[in-house]
């Protein structure tokens, strides 16, 4: 059965490209999905596995839309924090690589200096 998108608030793209998979991408994918269930967010948060997002040096990469927030270095633990932050309509700042400011993407707090 197709997902009812009218209930979806966030779309979480989980990079499953080669570099991210070498850095635990499968575990990140599973943990994110389990935490979404644990937090009761199944109707609000939809996840998709993607191929490489072009930021392999930041593996594992997770992207949240429509916020336009890119996360880097996502581990299963960080993945749980990202889901919990979504529940509060916040970003998990320590892992933010970049976020959309309405015109372009700007570096986040978790970005390299
Ligand atoms: S494999 Fe994930 S960004 Fe390239």
**Within-domain flag for 112:** no
In a domain, 101, yes or no: yes
Residue of the CA atom closest to atom 1 of ligand 1: 17
- 77 within a domain of the structure (yes/no): yes
Distance CA 84, CA 105 (A): 23
Q: Is the pLDDT of residue 112 over 60?
A: no
pLDDT tens, 55-78? 999 999 999 999 999 999 999 999
Residue 13 domain-assigned? yes
Q: How far is the CA of 52 from the centre of ligand 1 (A)?
A: 4
pLDDT at position 110 is 67
Which pTM value belongs to this model? 0.94
Name the domain count of the chain: 1
**Residue ranges lining ligand 1, Cβ < 6 Å:** 15, 17-20, 52-56, 59, 61
Report pLDDT digits (tens) over 29-52: 999 999 999 999 999 999 999 999
CATH number of the domain enclosing 101: 3.40.30.10
Residue 51 Cα to chain centre, angstroms = 14
Domain limits for position 45: 5-107
Neighbour-count burial of 70, counting CB atoms closer than 10 A to its CB (0-12 exposed, 13-18 middle, 19+ buried): buried
Pocket test for ligand 1, best of 24, 49, 56, 72 (most atoms within 8 A of CB): 56
Cis check: omega of the bond before 60, within 30 degrees of 0: yes
- DSSP annotation of 61 reads P
Q: Which atom of ligand 1 is nearest to the CA of 19?
A: 1
Between CA 99 and CA 80 the distance in angstroms is 19
């Amino acid at each position: 059965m197709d997902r009812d998108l009218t209930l979806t608030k966030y779309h979480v793209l989980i990079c499953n490209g080669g570099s991210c998979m070498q850095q635990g991408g499968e575990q990140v994918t599973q943990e994110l999905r389990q935490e979404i269930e644990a937090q009761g967010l199944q109707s609000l948060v939809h996840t998709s596995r993607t191929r490489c997002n072009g930021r392999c040096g930041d593996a594992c990469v997770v992207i949240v839309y429509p916020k336009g927030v890119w996360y880097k270095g996502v581990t299963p633990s960080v993945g749980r924090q990202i889901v919990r932050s979504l529940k509060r309509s916040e970003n998990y700042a320590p892992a933010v690589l970049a976020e959309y400011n309405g015109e372009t993407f700007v570096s986040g707090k978790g970005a390299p200096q």
